Structure 1
Amino acid sequence: MECDDYRLTRTLERENLNLNPLQRGGVLTADAREALYEFSDGYSICDYCEGRLDQIKKPDINRFLDDLADFINVDVVRTVHGAREGKFAVMHALCDKGDTIIVDGNAHYTTHLAAERNHLKIIEAPNNGYPTFEIKSETYRQVLEDAIDKTEIKLAVLTHVDGDYGNLTNAKAIASTCKRLGIPLLLNCAYTMGRMPIDAKDIGADFIVGSGHKSMAASGPIGVLGMTSEWEDTILKRSDRHEKKEIEMLGCTSRGAPIATLMASFPHVKARVQRWNEELKKTRHFVKEMEKLGEIIQLGVKPKEHDLVRFETPIFDNIARSHPRRGFFLYEELKKRRIVGIKRGQTRWFKCSVYSMTMEQIEYIIDAFRDIIKKYKS
């Protein structure tokens, strides 16, 4: 009898330097790896549950959620299966079919999908185009004010830092506009919560979502949904038939390794956000040295305010046109040097991040790009 073999191995992080910005903030701590082993069984977190995940005291999820709320300065926190599920839950609780919401032009595709799944109409506040692709607070305000004159707006959604250009928006200014117009604001912090300091009340956001597996050193999938007390009864409304269960959470969310690793990494995450200025300094150095190589241009707002960097790279695109491996040459040259995270076949542009890397590692990466250019330009 034939037996299927689904053995899985992954040595990427152990054997290479990974530039993928999706993963830089999600690399597990040693404590999280231990928790991953201990809580790897499917429902392992539920051994002492009496019906409410957020009230479990062994492990102490109840206290953890209080600490997490303090960390991002909200009144109430729940874990969800990802930032996208948090966005969906807020839209579903606040909006009816056919309602209209405002989103920014750099919104993640999951913002659109959450809206589509809720049968909502979207009005978009555009970015300012090449080369910065910035979401201006004045543009967002104008779009919102114009929309209100024509229809009722149930919710405003803003991407704190986008996944295309790594631009940090002026969330505080946009939140002020929303507050003045009486529109609740949902801030998508998938790329910021757990990497840089976040203060939701100082910003003025009504709701905030984050990603444990993207930016909080958790195995995931897991997200964070925070809110002010004003919205607690709406978002966390309980079932009529199952009185302990919160409807938008579908009763419970993370029940095993995702929340265990999020909890285990939390002390490390709290400490590392205090070193955010050091991370910015490293990113800006990386950008400066990469641009010195010639025909490599950082897109997005300058100077960088986030570790996610998008480079336009005509130098590599020109090499690819005459290289026998075409666009695959850059990926393969980097892989020889134990550098990964740039997608196969991508030479016109790429996204990357050196978050949490040492200066020695960053210099090695810069030297690797320099060597590749020298090899094909000579």
Structure 2
Amino acid sequence: MKCQDYSLNRQTERDNLNLNPLQRGGVLPPESRQALYEFSDGYSVCDYCSGRLDEIPKPSIHGFLEDMARFINVDHVRTVHGAREGKFAVMHALCRPGDTVVMDGNAHYTSHLAAERNNLNIVEVPSTGEPEYRIDPVAYQEVLDNLDDRGEDVSLVLLTHVDGDYGNLTDARAIGKIAHDTGIPFLLNCAYSMGRMPIDAKKLNTDFIVGSGHKSMAASGPIGILGVQEEWADLVLKRSGRHQVKELEMMGCTSRGAPIATLMASLPYLIDRVSKWDVELQKTLYFVSEMEKIGGVKQIGVRPTEHDLVRFETPFFHSIADKHPRKGFYLYEELKKKKIVGIKRGQTQWFKCSVYGFSQEQVHYIAHSFAEIASKFREMAD
């Protein structure tokens, strides 16, 4: 049998400035690339395992999990295959089929799937709609009060800390307090915040917190973080009756091999980089201001933005697509000529992007490149 060509290279992405928000927080530092090489074989971290992944002494996964717990301020940490698996595990441990979970209207689709897979009812807290799409704590209070008035119990409150559509940073501390005041456990999805910005799970009033190693923590995927406070540890980390060292919700062992090795190697780097979050945010604000000088380009979501993921409405670039011989593909192609990628092919009406991790000089170059493209085709927009 002859296999097909699987196109196993990322030369385009590696040789260009990649604006894809999914990629910006997952770029590996050199020490993690070395760990990727060292632990690239199969079950490479399992040579000294006595049955529990979280207790492996060499490499010191046990020590790493203790450090990670201190980094995000939780009592217990486990690695999972992604934030979605962490959400599913919490729901599966806490809820029963037919229970109700309340989540924000900007929630990631995997929050819906985790609930659906557990046969739970979803009640959404609506956003304010365009142009901000803000999630207000008072809206959570109203939804919970309405459910209580109807006699409907809620098993879990979930919030997306930073949503993947607009990059809105929501007041998790306030919503966590609302959940606790009504006696409901609180799960915070930090897929776009843990590893990019400082996170203190206890200050944010969380019972459970999930993060994404491959999205925001400079790790090779798939890997995520599940943080659990002490009150819930016996339930979420319950052991198997038949295989007594294995934790049920973790299916015994979760991420093993290259993903966990790269996340371990990246932790010192992450500890340093979250301390520079203000610098990253200022670069984003500069980028937004330069983009909006084009005219017909506007940041959508809470303003000023509080996160590096930015969504622009771009009617200016879309009007050019109507007349350009390459239609909507022209923008991607013009950017690629300038060694910039990450905007989806054919997308001109709106797009999401991030300049997280780029130097100020690179951010200036990216903004200037968009301005040059706008100037080049301005007559088509008239």
1:235 is matched by which residue type in structure 2? Answer: V
Q: Which amino acid is the alignment partner of residue 279 of structure 1?
A: E
Per-residue CA deviations over 1:119-165 (Å, capped at 9, x if unaligned) read 00000000000000000111111111211222010000000000000
What amino acid is aligned across from residue 357 of structure 1 in structure 2?
Answer: F
Report the Cα distance in structure 1 between the residues aligned to 2:8 and 2:187, rounded to whole angstroms. Answer: 38
Cα distance change of structure 1 residues 165 and 3 upon mapping to structure 2, 3 Å threshold: closer
> Which amino acid in structure 2 is aligned with residue 120 of structure 1?
L
Give the number of equivalent residue pairs. 378
Which residue identity does 1:255 align to in structure 2? R
After superposition, give the CA deviation of every residue in 1:49-94 in whole Å (9 maximum; x if it has no partner). Answer: 0000000010000010000000000000000000000000000000
Q: Which residue of 2 aligns with 1:186?
A: 187
The answer to whether the 8 Å contact 1:190/1:209 transfers is yes
Q: TM-score, normalising length from structure 1?
A: 0.99
1:2: Cα distance to partner? Answer: 4.2
1:94 maps onto 2:94 in alignment: yes
Aligned partners of 2:198 and 2:276: how far apart in 1? 9
CA contact (8 A) 1:12 1:18 kept: no
Q: Which runs of 5+ in 1 are unaligned?
A: none
AA matched with 1:333: E
Quote the residue 2:272 is aligned against. Answer: 271
Residues 55, 2 of structure 1: CA spacing in aligned structure 2 closer, same or farther, 3 A cutoff? closer
Across the aligned residues of Structure 1 and Structure 2, the Cα RMSD in angstroms comes to: 1.0
Amino acid at match of 1:377: R
Q: SS of the counterpart of 2:311?
A: strand
SS in structure 2 at match of 1:101: strand
Counterpart position of 2:23: 23
Work out the CA distance in 2 between the residues paired with 1:7 and 1:281.
Answer: 37
Q: Secondary structure at the match of 1:208?
A: strand
Q: Which amino acid aligns with 1:108?
A: H
Aligned equivalents of 1:250, 1:333: Cα separation in 2: 47
Residue of structure 1 in register with 2:66 after alignment: 66
Structure 2: 5+ residue runs without aligned partners?
none
1:324 alignment partner AA: P
- The SS at the match of 2:97 is coil
Are positions 1:199 and 2:200 aligned together?
yes
Query: Offset at 1:325?
Result: 1.0
Number of the residue aligned with 1:334: 335
Conserved in 1, the CA contact under 8 Å of 2:13 and 2:341?
A: no
- Partners of 1:279 and 1:211 lie apart in 2 by 19
Distance 2:84 2:276 in 1: 27
Q: Which residue matches 1:143? A: 143
| Whole-angstrom distance in 2 between the partners of 1:259 and 1:13 | 23
Distance 2:19 2:81 in 1: 25
* Residues 76 and 324 (structure 1), Cα distance of their counterparts in 2 relative to 1, 3 Å cut: same
SS at match of 1:165: coil
1:15-48 CA-to-partner distances (Å, cap 9, x unmatched) read 1000000110000110111111111111111111
* Superposed counterparts of 1:156-305, under 5 Å: 156-305=157-306
The answer (yes or no) to whether the contact 2:131–2:300 under 8 Å persists in 1 is yes
Read off the aligned partner of 2:59 and give its amino acid letter.
P
Work out the percentage of aligned pairs sharing the same amino acid. 66
User: Match of 1:84, as an amino acid?
Assistant: R
**Which residue number corresponds to residue 311 of structure 1?**
312
1:107 aligned onto 2:107: yes
Distance 1:147 1:348 in 2: 38
Give the secondary-structure state (helix, strand or coil) at the position aligned to 1:247. Answer: coil
TM-score by length of 2: 0.98
Task: List structure 1 segments (4+ residues) > 6 angstroms apart after TM superposition.
Answer: none
What amino acid is the match of 1:363?
H
| Preserved CA contact (<8 Å) 1:208 1:225 | yes
